[in-house]
Amino acid sequence: MPNYYYPVMLDLRGRLVIVVGGDGIAAEKVAALSASGARVQVISPEFCNELLWQAEDNAVTLQHKAYEPGDLIGAFVVIAATNDPQLVKSIWAETQERGQLLNIVDVPQYCSFIMPSVLRRGQLTIAVSTGGASPGLAKRIRQSLEEIFSPAYGVYLSLAGLARTHLRNNGVSYDERDDFFGNFYTSDVLRQLTEGNTTEAMALTAALLQDYGIDVLASTLETEINKEIKDVNSDV
């Protein structure tokens, strides 16, 4: 019987995540975790160059040691990149005792969650999972989606978020906001952003907002968008 996982989005900001393993796969996991705001610690006798570079950038804390029971105290999530059967069982036993979320790469029978292949465009996140049947196929499906969802979606979602803020601040009802986003979605805003016509996209959005009694200049929207992008980049 297929395993139908329940999809969730975890808020890891400021929470401890422990990764066991020091190879390139572990480094990929660490990079994604750090980008999500997690406090990441890695336990391994040896580390690949990428992990050493991440440590130099203060993105991760490295513990030069082999895993021992008790090392996972305080972790919200544990990820292990290892194919050692005894190590897998030991890590699984400790996380079961502590009630921690566990993912062991390519060993689904010992996982309390699996990780999808993820496409990000700013605030837009698209996750593709095959329920563990074929991670390689999930990756290729995600790669095909990259052609459909261009980088312009990042600004598009930020602009939608700004529009929502203006709508809420001006007391526009939920149903009217929903109507607005129907119009926003079918408008030429995304096409203009894709073609690099940011000013025109702002003008179209300002005109849509005006239909709901909100007077905001296109130049104001552009300034707000640029500030938001600058703030996001400064956090990376």
> Residue holding tokens 């909100």?
214
pLDDT the model gives residue 152: 95
The answer on pLDDT for 222 being more than 70 is yes
The answer on pLDDT for 38 being more than 80 is yes
What angle is formed at CA 14 by the lines to CA 8 and CA 15, rounded to 5 degrees?
Answer: 60
For residue 62, give the nearest of 50, 73, 51 by alpha carbon.
Answer: 51
pLDDT digits (tens, 9 = 90+) for 169-208: 999 999 999 999 999 999 999 999 999 999 999 999 999 9
Helix, strand, or coil (residue 153): helix
pLDDT the model gives residue 4: 79
pLDDT the model gives residue 232: 61
Residue 234's pLDDT band (cuts 50, 70, 90) = low
In this structure, which long-range contacts are made by residues 172-180, counting pairs with CB atoms below 8 Å and at least 24 apart in sequence?
172/212, 172/213, 172/214, 176/212, 180/208, 180/209, 180/211, 180/212
Q: What is the DSSP track for 27-65?
A: HHHHHHHHHTT-EEEEEESS--HHHHHHHHTTS-EEEES
Q: What is the pTM of this model?
A: 0.82
Residue 2's pLDDT band (cuts 50, 70, 90) = low
The pLDDT of 73-78, averaged and rounded, is: 98
Q: Kindly state the DSSP code that residue 123 receives in the 8-state scheme.
A: T
